[in-house]
Chain A
Amino acid sequence: MTESHDLRFDLGAYVMGALTPDEREVIDAHLSSCPDCTSEMDELTRLPVLLDLLSAEEVVAMGTGAGRPPADLVDRVVAAAVAERRGQRRRRWLVASAAAVVLVAGSSAAAVVLSSSPSKTPAQDISLSATNKTTGTWARIEVEPRLWGASLNLKLTGVPAGEHCKLVAVGRDGSTETAGSWEVTYHGGATLTGATSLSLSSTASYDIVTFEGKTLVSVPTATS
């Protein structure tokens, strides 16, 4: 018991690669006879792959604020929003046309085109749904066309519990774009929001795909 307890602490150093070959051998021998430590090892052993996503320099810089936004960033966003709102109000008093106002945000950034009527969307919102009889998965997607693509509201049922899926927009040209690159553990169903740069008219379908690549349901944009 005591020995197992001490060895359990060693699992951390083992996973970090900080043990000597002799110490590693002791752990290897112990693991073959201790289910508790084996399952513990199982939980820790995938962490190094994730740690590899960071560099030593990044870890050294932690706590120094290097990866944090500047303190005045929020003030700049507020100022931009307030200025835009004033512009909208002013335009209401003008009989002028709806000429677009082009603002270039920053010198190095994207030439970001802000429409003078940002609430106007290129097309009507539509609701699509489909069921895959084989997998039993049902999906409804409300597509809200945007100037930059489409905002998607997804409702999903009949997904195996614990499945990890993503929402993929499939273009008419065969291109694909993950409209939600986050990971969600579904418990049979889910409601979530995604966004894609693919416009509705250039989208053939919205697919719910597992991380293993299996398509649970494909929601076509037009009935064929």
Chain B
Amino acid sequence: MTSDEALVRAVYAEHGAALFGYVLRLVAGDRQRAEDIVQETLLRAWRHPEALNSTGRGSLRPWLFTVARNLVVDAHRARMARPHEVADDVLALIPAPDEIDRALVAWQVADALESLSVEHRAVVLETYYRGSTVAQASATLGIPAGTVKSRCYYALRALRLALTERGVTL
């Protein structure tokens, strides 16, 4: 393996999934575009080894996220510059600064929720996202009502911990 390949694979192993999850939100779920943006972002990191070396490992991720975000915005601007492509839906897709911060937090929340056990996620889905009462969730999931309650409790505790670990301020 060349040093180039080793570097790219190391960065990808640590940040690839996170970067993809974040970008996917910025481009409204367009996987093809997300893949292109992630590829270009990682190439830029590879071209600027000082970004990888001069700073701690923890601070590469914000650098990657910022570069990716700029690429998304640049891509929108490039489209805007070609009048024939400008349509209302393209305009609507330009992420506003608030939405960009939102995409970052949303990715962190999704990542945290995905780290919970299947059982914990199931009670969150039933009660919170589907609006079930404890009794309804108990019937749907086939577990006692008391278990629904305790799982709700432990799921939220676990979620809070997972969010804190990801640096989300509560």
Highest count of chain A CB atoms <10 Å: which of B8, B55, B155: B8
A16 near B124 with CB under 8 A, answer yes
B74 touches A20 (CB 8 A): no
Contact of A82 among B5, B54, B160 (CB under 8 A): B5
Contact yes or no, A59 B113, CB < 8 A: yes
A13 near B134 with CB under 8 A, answer yes
Min CB distance, B79 to chain A, in Å? 8
A213 to chain B, nearest CB (A): 14
Interface residues contributed by chain B, number (CB under 8 Å)? 92
> What is the minimal beta-carbon distance from B117 to any residue of chain A, in angstroms?
10
**Contact string against B for A residues 58-80, beta-carbon threshold 8 Å, 1 for contact and 0 otherwise:** 11101100011110011011101
Give every chain A residue within 8 A of B2 (Cβ-Cβ). Answer: 82, 85
Taken residue by residue from 30 to 69, chain B's Cβ proximity to chain A (1 for < 8 Å, 0 otherwise) reads as 1111111111101110111011001110011111011101
Q: Which residues of B contact A84 (CB under 8 A)?
A: 43, 47
Alpha-carbon distance A178/B65, docked complex (angstroms): 12
* Residues in B whose Cβ lies below 8 Å from that of A11: 153
Chain B residues in 8 Å Cβ range of A50: 105, 109, 163, 168, 170
The residue in chain B whose Cβ has the minimal distance to the Cβ of A48 is B128
Residues of chain B with a CB closer than 8 A to A132's CB = none
Q: A11–B73 Cα gap in the complex (Å)? A: 42
Residues of A contacting B: mostly:
mixed
B92 within 8 A of A: no
Given contacts A44-B160, A119-B47, contact A16 B59 (CB under 8 A): no
Q: Are A18 and B62 closer than 8 Å at their CB atoms?
A: no
Kindly state the separation between the CA atoms of A78 and B6 in the bound complex, as whole angstroms. Answer: 9
User: Which residues of chain B come closer than 8 Å to A8, judged between CB atoms?
Assistant: 153
Beta-carbon contact of A78 and B127 below 8 Å: no
What is the bound-complex CA distance between A47 and B106, given in angstroms?
A: 12
Q: Which residues of A contact B17 (CB under 8 A)?
A: 68-69
Asked if A106 meets B32 with Cβ closer than 8 Å, knowing A80-B39, A80-B43, the reply is: yes
Q: Interface on B for A, CB 8 Å cutoff?
A: 2, 4-5, 8-9, 12-13, 16-17, 20-21, 24, 30-40, 42-44, 46-48, 50-51, 54-56, 59-63, 65-67, 69-71, 73-75, 78, 97, 100-102, 104-106, 109-110, 113-114, 118, 121, 123-125, 127-134, 137, 146, 148-157, 159-160, 163, 167-170
Q: List 8 A-B contacts (CB under 8 A).
A: A44-B156, A54-B113, A62-B114, A85-B4, A182-B62, A182-B104, A185-B169, A195-B66
